[in-house]
Structure 1
Amino acid sequence: MDVIYPLAVPKGRRLCCEVCEAPAERVCGACTVTYYCGVVHQRADWRSIHEKICQLLIPLRTSRPFYNSEEERQHGLQQLQRRQKHLIEFCYTVAQKYLFEGKYEAAVPAALHSLRFRMNVHGLSSVELVPAYLLLAEASLGLGRVVQAEEYLSQAQWTVLKSTECSYATQSLLHRNLGLVCMAKGNCEEARDHLANDIYFASCAFGTEHIRTSGGYFHLANIFHGLQKLDLADTLYTKVSEIWSKYLNDRCEALSQARIQQLDLLGKRFETDTGLDEAQEAEAIQILTSILTIREATSDRAPQKTIFVLKILAMLYYLMMDSSKAQEYALRAFDLAKEQKLSVREQNSIQDVLNLISAEEAHPITQPPGSSRWGLVKGS
């Protein structure tokens, strides 16, 4: 990560830090178009997102070339917009992944990039800005900055109120974050209302049994668990587990059929077979391991529920092509099933997962040399 200092600033131009918008004193030596107030924010941005998009920022932040015709100019503008839209989603996914992994500090620069690109493409009052505001609110909440989280949520709410075209998916995310803030402030009743709205809007967008809806059920279960309403919490944790079990089981079955034909569903091999992006995979791990912890604490009363979640995690890691973790969870499920003397059928279902993992280890899928999951050029 080379660093140089700006030697001169064009008259009338103010260079701002990429992270905090304070007056800048440093510039990234790799792209020379990204500025920082100091080394702390430069390192934070580099580790969060800048390393992954460094070179991609150059054509977006340098002077546009001279075009010989209006047609060339329109083509250049379209290319610029496509790059920005790509970076919107990429930065958003990276920030989401950090959030689900509990890396709140790292999520902030990536979320800020997504917000700025959204402003450039959609304008300052577009509802398209809301998902980025919500990421920043969640990161702030994770860092214990409740007031700042509320400020981002207020911006999101105001943008939604002014919009006539806000999707159900966006409204779901808004209510989820409002619910999380209420939980952090100890206002469980208001949190329940927001999470109920989250589930409603997610159900309208994706359906009641969709993995995108399961997050609302999970957070609502956490509220009931904290209030010692364990029966309600247990019902919702079971629902979340069943949603993920069905989704992953369907993926496993599709993969088994595809491997018989030596092809995946599109006639080529995926790097992973979950059908999820990295942020969704991180969310699945966070939700399911949290439920497992709760199940293990009460495994003496309902060991079958612990076994069920262990099996789901085994399928998830199998589809993520992490054979070691998949086998670890599957063996734990199998050993517990034998210890509890579950039916032969239930033990065989876990054995089927172990057989899939063994087949994967015998015939692993390898990536092409030099390939990257992100599919992006990285800065030096």
Structure 2
Amino acid sequence: MACELCQKPALLLCTGCRCAYYCCDDHQKTAWASVHSKVCRLVGALGSARAFCTLEERRQRDETVRQQKLRIMQTSIMCGTRHIFSDRPGLAMPAAKQALTMAAEVFGASSVELIRPFLMLASACVLLGELNSAEGYLSQGEWTLIYAKSEDHALRAWLFRGWGQLLAARREWVQAKWCCAEDVHHCAEAFGPQDVRCTLGYFRLAESLLQMEKFDIVSSLFRQIVTIWQQYFYGEVEEGEVPHRLSDPEVIEALHVLTLIRKSFTSTGDDAAAGSSLAALPPGMAHGSVVKV
């Protein structure tokens, strides 16, 4: 058996699911803190398959297994996102690998569903300082998008965001700025330029421009982010319009962006606008239930 984290020979078995193997106590503890505590029961259910006598029973079992794998993938993405935005890249890696495995098993090894786990792995590697590994994961994500011939603007935005993060870590600010601008462009194409899902792209662009001492543009971008969130919480909803409901990863991302924006405004003694937007976050946001009010 191979270790869930490093793929080395492993004999240590999780006594909960009796499916996950580890090469040492440290790797088992890391996996448990990262994601396994959230999916142990689901993983165990995958390993409890039994033979069925009829095709209909087998079909039902296959669909049940598929749904369980989807839940594991979604939970892993949520956990990985939380670890990345909480600056715990070491814990993000096992969650991203779990998400990648489930995505490949459910959708196939060349599906665009693999792109998000690849980008999570790349982001974790950047935070860990493993920039060559990050470039490898980003290249795999880009190849997957090209192979699938996808024109999905949201996926393109995520890829450019990943490249921008890597280039910023290498202090290649001009190239990073270009990637961040492409991120904003594709986010705007996918969701509209005033959508809250564009705000992380705006923030990454502002970070690159800050290093280039474009202070006026940076301040404008920060205020644009705050304005978008104020509109999200306080703006009127047009008749027949269905408010966008934030997913759990989007909630984590939103809290991260708004907190960083507030810190930026606080450092300059002008945090009133950012503070009012942060104060508007309802309690349900922590549970992924935020909608426009």
TM-score by length of 2: 0.91
Is residue 228 of structure 2 the alignment partner of residue 243 of structure 1? yes
Which consecutive unaligned segments of at least 5 residues does structure 1 have?
A: 1-14, 255-273, 323-372, 375-380
Say if 1:92 and 1:291 are closer, same or farther in 2 by CA, change over 3 A.
Answer: same
What is the CA-CA distance between 1:321 and the residue it aligns to?
7.4
Q: Per-residue displacement from partner, 1:135-188 (whole Å, max 9, x unpaired)?
A: 000011111111111111111111112111352111110110001101111111
Give the alignment's Cα RMSD to 1 decimal: 2.1
Is residue 11 of structure 2 the alignment partner of residue 25 of structure 1? yes
Structure 2 counterpart of 1:218, from 185, 189, 203: 203
Q: Per-residue displacement from partner, 1:78-108 (whole Å, max 9, x unpaired)?
A: 1111111122112111111111121211111
Look up the match of 1:310.
Answer: 275
CA distance in 1, matches of 2:194, 2:73: 28
AA aligned opposite 2:186: F
Look up the match of 1:16.
Answer: 2
Q: Which is higher, the Rg of structure 1 or of structure 2?
A: 1
Matches within 5 A, 1:150-229: 150-229=135-214
Look up the match of 1:109.
Answer: 94
CA distance in 2, matches of 1:240, 1:179: 19
What is the CA-CA distance between 1:275 and the residue it aligns to?
4.2
Look up the match of 1:59.
Answer: 45
CA distance in 2, matches of 1:142, 1:294: 20
1:66 is paired with a residue whose SS is coil
Look up the match of 1:130.
Answer: 115
Q: Could you tell me whether the CA contact under 8 Å between 1:17 and 1:36 is conserved in 2? A: yes
Look up the match of 1:295.
Answer: 265
Q: Could you tell me whether the CA contact under 8 Å between 2:154 and 2:190 is conserved in 1? A: yes
CA distance in 2, matches of 1:283, 1:321: 11
Percent identical among aligned pairs is 30
AA aligned opposite 2:253: E
Higher relative contact order (CA 8 A, sep 6+): 1
CA distance in 2, matches of 1:102, 1:244: 23
1:67 is paired with a residue whose SS is coil
Look up the match of 1:279.
Answer: 249
Q: Per-residue displacement from partner, 1:255-277 (whole Å, max 9, x unpaired)?
A: xxxxxxxxxxxxxxxxxxx9434
Look up the match of 1:6.
Answer: none
Structure 2 counterpart of 1:50, from 33, 36, 42: 36
Q: Could you tell me whether the CA contact under 8 Å between 1:127 and 1:166 is conserved in 2? A: no
TM-score by length of 1: 0.71
CA distance in 2, matches of 1:131, 1:166: 15
Q: Could you tell me whether the CA contact under 8 Å between 2:251 and 2:285 is conserved in 1? A: no
What is the CA-CA distance between 1:201 and the residue it aligns to?
1.2
CA distance in 2, matches of 1:21, 1:131: 22
Look up the match of 1:234.
Answer: 219
1:289 is paired with a residue whose SS is helix
What is the CA-CA distance between 1:122 and the residue it aligns to?
1.5
CA distance in 1, matches of 2:150, 2:67: 22
What is the CA-CA distance between 1:298 and the residue it aligns to?
2.0
Q: Could you tell me whether the CA contact under 8 Å between 1:225 and 1:233 is conserved in 2? A: yes
CA distance in 1, matches of 2:212, 2:125: 25
Q: Could you tell me whether the CA contact under 8 Å between 1:97 and 1:278 is conserved in 2? A: no
Structure 1 counterpart of 2:21, from 25, 35, 43: 35
AA aligned opposite 1:146: L
Say if 1:24 and 1:166 are closer, same or farther in 2 by CA, change over 3 A.
Answer: farther
